[in-house]
Amino acid sequence: MTMPVPDAPVPGALPTSEPSGGPSRPSRLDPAVAAGLRRTPDGLVVAVVRQYDTGEVLMVAWMDDEALHRTLTTGRATYWSRSRGEYWVKGETSGNHQYVHSVALDCDGDALLLEVDQVGPACHTGRRTCFHTELPVTGVAGDKRKARS
């Protein structure tokens, strides 16, 4: 079985519909799904990633229409790298794969929630999660939270 190369051009793909006027990259995303997305001016939607069975928040990344299409159709988390200007499949080089269990669109259409089975660390630093630096909460809400503990 031949697997498509993730960064290869998409034959026969139509340009992404970008209501915000961002750059257009070819996409095979279902037009009904694409219509529900509210993208940044770059044509991206933020993706919050959490472990499917524990709810642990692992990382945040960016997707365009094609990255979302690849994620939905392969079951492997695929993102758009803003710094490199290319697609990347989580774990393709590191071995720390994300196997997708579900994808949900938020009520505004401007964020995605991916529930994944994370193999190995999610963070490029080698930590399980990218959210490992806790900041102190000293305001009233923080005080009430501590009082309930």
Tell me the pLDDT tens digit for each residue of 50-98.
Answer: 999 999 999 999 999 999 999 999 999 999 999 999 999 999 999 999 9
User: Is 1 among the domain residues?
Assistant: no
Separation CA 114–CA 50 (nearest Å):
6
User: Is 2 among the domain residues?
Assistant: no
User: Is 7 among the domain residues?
Assistant: no
The phi, psi pair for 148, rounded to 5°, reads -80, -20
Burial of 37 (0-12, 13-18, 19+ CB in 10 A): buried
Which residues sit in the known binding site for Zn(2+)?
107, 123, 130
Separation CA 134–CA 117 (nearest Å):
24
Cβ neighbour number for residue 3 with a 10 Å cutoff: 6
pLDDT at 141: 72
User: Is 122 among the domain residues?
Assistant: yes
User: Is 31 among the domain residues?
Assistant: yes
User: Is 78 among the domain residues?
Assistant: yes
pLDDT at 31: 94
User: Is 9 among the domain residues?
Assistant: no
Tokens of 53: 């069975």
Do residues 114 and 49 lie in contact, with contact meaning Cβ atoms separated by under 8 Å?
yes
Mean pLDDT, the chain, as a whole number? 84
Q: Report the domain count for the chain.
A: 1
Cβ neighbour number for residue 94 with a 10 Å cutoff: 13
Q: Which domain does 30 fall in, by range? A: 14-148
Which residues sit in the known binding site for Mg(2+)?
106, 108, 110
Separation CA 94–CA 20 (nearest Å):
34
Which residues sit in the known binding site?
106-108, 110, 123, 130
User: Is 3 among the domain residues?
Assistant: no
Q: What is the CATH number of the domain that holds 72?
A: 3.10.20.810
- Confidence (pTM): 0.77
